[in-house]
Chain A
Amino acid sequence: MKLALFAFGAFAGAFLLHVALWQLRRPRSHTAALLAIFLGALPAALLLGALVPALRPLTPHTAWEYLLVCEFHVALALGYIVLYSAIEGDSPSCQIVTAVAASGARGRERADLARVIDNESVLLVRVRAMEREKMVAQADGALTLTPGGRALARIYLAVEVIFGLPRGG
């Protein structure tokens, strides 16, 4: 259980640091900042474990234990970063079910929901985010894919072909 305590502690430390930093000032590039915080926390925790004698019994002792702790930390970190993109953006489906649930027994007409799901809140916000993340560039009112955006589009087109999935979105 000591190893689990160490691994949970390292992840919890990274999460608390992330929450504290976000209260002070949110970084411009969220994904890069989250990667730095969460992936930097593990070596920092291991270093702390090596330097502080009281923590030494909790730290990994064999190569396999190091691997297990790394797998746990990296898997949870990547999972959280994926979840964060859902926290940051407003998913249309989540907005719809929330709006309908808030109406209770009265329900909602399509026209009511169209006021929540408009071009500004759903599409233009995402276009701006893609520009910020350098996936697309905008000039003279036209959008062009950047090399990063092209690479991502190709990955997902390949996934579509491999899995035989219909076009989503």
Chain B
Amino acid sequence: MGSDALTALSPLLATAVNVVVQVVVLRASGGVRFRASLLTGFLAGGLALAALLWTVSCGACARDLAGHALLAGGAYAGLGFCYFAFLNLNQASLRIRMLKELHAAPGETLPLGDLLARYHAGHILDERLDRLLGSGQLVLRADRYYSGPRSEFLVLARFLNLLKRMLLGRSGAPPHGM
């Protein structure tokens, strides 16, 4: 296979490595280490991409290689993000959860009140608080929640709020004094 072909196919091959490694790690952990499997898969795919680009680097001039590597890296990151989002939706999306509840209901129909009773805001709040405490984003002291030692979620929330203000003219932040 020529170096141009290998460069062009490298994001797809690296994404395949990402998926296979992620599935193997998750299966090996009995479905428990979901986030670790996503990170491991993405890093393994990134290493595969770097190895493929290093292999073709001998035959290409440095300037072409830099541009092509930038495109291949961007494509790999984009595909990796889509794969992460696809799997993460299954874990985090309220819409997907509601669709599954409806699918399991007789005639795939549920009164709205029943759906809200099964899956109400208090239940969602408790689940999210558990997850955020478990991942170190929040800490609980004397029945009060404080920002935790890890702040990835807060950084993400601020980034999304910035885009929300730019595109939609509103912020997702709670009102002051809340």
Contacts and interface: CB of A to CB of B under 8 A. Distances in A.
B75 A68 contact: yes
Interface string B73-103: 0111111011001110111111111111011
Given A159-B90, A168-B93, A87 B4 contact: no
A78 B8 contact: no
A51 interface: no
A114 B122 contact: yes
Contact of A99 (B27, B100, B131, B174): B174
Interface of A: 1-5, 7, 19, 22, 26, 62, 64-65, 67-69, 71-72, 74-79, 82-83, 86-88, 90-103, 105-110, 112-119, 121-123, 126-127, 129-130, 135-136, 138, 141-145, 149-150, 152-154, 156-157, 159-160, 163-169
B146 interface: yes
Interface residues of B, number: 92
B54 interface: no
A145 B8 contact: no
B151 to A, nearest CB: 8
Contacts of B99: 130, 135-136, 145, 149, 152-153, 156
A157 B131 CA distance: 22
Contacts of B75: 68, 71-72, 75-76
A165 B90 contact: yes
Nearest to A146: B108
